[in-house]
């Protein structure tokens, strides 16, 4: 009997069919997301009933969804973030849960650097002006010599430090689990959160989402920041209080923000109207090399689980 595998990431196999071919060559019966988008809870509950394995995207995999998946034995989250998975429910249902924790690192780190540069030089806004017939030269600032505060010095945060090295920036970091060996090698200074907020010209977030971390960037946080702060979040939606950020950007026109993730996606809120805010539709892992690596890793995880 062939095991039935569902992939719910809307882009699975589109950049390169190799991950699908690998699974099929190993005898798996693979179905790709029939909706071509993020599934709702009700859609997930309906579609998951008949599958043995799931390669998941960012859809909610709560207790109700997992409980409806009568045959599900294995779940691989495509990417690193696991906040959409109810681990307690998975444990009770004997569903093994894994992810692909490393493949996305270069993609998110490079996108973060691009977001920082876009904010500092108003690249996105200048482009929008030209497309609207406005020839206006925004006065930006250099990344060179700035103080960059990194919240979360994990895989992505460390890779960002390496990418920042040629710009000769000062790097501060806050992390509950300090990688002191890396920090010493790359001249990163661990500081308290308040010091990082008040002294950084640029703050970029690279922490997992959890209920405790919800709206960690809020009005109180932003009240301690510089009036010309550049804030970047290419980590997880919900870490930033979007209403508080809107107020901050409105009161401080010299400030800027780049967001790739949002509390509710797709996002269509008021930040999209702000000239000093650049938004992208959760594309951190959307580089062809990254997608192929992630999908091949997920496919191999499925094979390893069912063939062991």
- Give pLDDT, residue 79: 86
CA-to-CA distance for 77 and 298, rounded, in angstroms? 8
- Give pLDDT, residue 80: 85
- Give pLDDT, residue 259: 98
Pairing of strands 230-233, 202-205: parallel
- Give pLDDT, residue 308: 76
Q: What 3-state class would DSSP assign to 91?
A: helix
CA-to-CA distance for 279 and 261, rounded, in angstroms? 8
Helix axes 288-307, 105-121, angle to 10 degrees: 150
Could you give phi then psi for residue 39, rounded to 5 degrees? -80, 145
Residue 109 pLDDT level (bands cut at 50, 70, 90): very high
Rg (CA), the chain: 21
Residue 249 pLDDT level (bands cut at 50, 70, 90): very high
For 191-247, write each residue's pLDDT tens digit.
999 999 999 999 999 999 989 999 999 999 999 999 999 999 999 999 999 999 999
For 112-154, write each residue's pLDDT tens digit.
999 999 999 999 999 999 999 999 999 999 999 999 999 999 9
CA-to-CA distance for 90 and 248, rounded, in angstroms? 40
Angle (CA) 42 101 292, round 5°: 80
Pairing of strands 96-99, 74-77: parallel
For 166-192, write each residue's pLDDT tens digit.
999 999 999 999 999 999 999 999 999
For 10-32, write each residue's pLDDT tens digit.
889 999 999 999 999 999 999 99
CA-to-CA distance for 197 and 30, rounded, in angstroms? 47
In 3D space, the residue among 217, 286, 266 whose CA is nearest the CA of residue 246 turns out to be 217
- Whether the CB-CB separation of 117 and 173 falls below 8 Å is answered with no
Mean pLDDT across the chain: 96
- Give pLDDT, residue 243: 98
Cut 0.95: pTM above it: no
Dihedral sign (CA 82, 88, 89, 93)? positive
CA atoms within 13 A on the CB side of 198: 7
- Give pLDDT, residue 1: 67
Provide the total of helices (H) and of strands (E) in the chain, helices listed first. Answer: 12, 12
For 49-81, write each residue's pLDDT tens digit.
999 999 999 899 999 999 999 999 999 999 888
Helix axes 123-131, 105-121, angle to 10 degrees: 70
Active site residues: 236, 265, 282
CA distances from 262 to 48, 54, 141, 232, 258 (A): 26, 24, 27, 12, 11
Cβ atoms < 10 Å from Cβ of 46:
12
């Amino acid at each position: 009997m062939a095991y039935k595998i569902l992939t719910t990431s809307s882009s699975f196999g589109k950049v390169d069919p190799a991950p699908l071919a690998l699974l099929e060559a190993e005898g798996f019966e693979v179905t790709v997301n029939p909706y071509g988008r993020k599934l709702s809870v009700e859609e997930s509950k309906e579609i998951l009933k008949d599958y043995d394995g799931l390669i998941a995207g960012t859809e909610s995999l709560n207790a109700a969804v997992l409980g409806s998946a009568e045959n599900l034995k294995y779940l691989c989250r495509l990417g690193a973030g696991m906040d959409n998975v109810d681990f307690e429910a998975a444990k009770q249902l004997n569903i093994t849960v894994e992810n692909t924790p490393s493949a996305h690192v270069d993609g998110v780190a490079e996108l973060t650097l691009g977001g920082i540069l876009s904010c500092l030089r108003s690249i996105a806004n200048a482009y929008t002006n030209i497309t609207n017939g406005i020839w206006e030269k925004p006065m930006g600032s250099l990344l060179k010599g700035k103080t960059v505060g990194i919240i979360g010095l994990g895989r992505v945060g460390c890779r960002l430090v390496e990418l920042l090295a040629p710009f000769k920036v000062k790097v501060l970091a806050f992390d509950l689990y300090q990688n002191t060996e890396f920090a010493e090698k790359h001249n990163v200074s661990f500081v308290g959160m308040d010091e990082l907020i008040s002294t950084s010209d640029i703050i970029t977030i690279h922490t997992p989402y959890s209920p405790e971390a919800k709206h960690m960037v809020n009005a109180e946080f932003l009240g301690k920041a510089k009036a010309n702060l550049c804030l970047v979040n290419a980590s997880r939606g919900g870490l930033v209080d979007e209403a508080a950020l809107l107020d901050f950007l409105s009161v401080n026109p010299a400030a800027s923000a780049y967001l790739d993730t949002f509390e509710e996606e797709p996002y269509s809120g008021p930040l999209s109207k702000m000239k000093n805010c650049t938004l992208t539709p959760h594309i951190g892992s959307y580089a062809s090399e990254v997608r192929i690596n992630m999908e091949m890793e997920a496919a191999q995880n499925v094979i390893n689980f069912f063939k062991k």
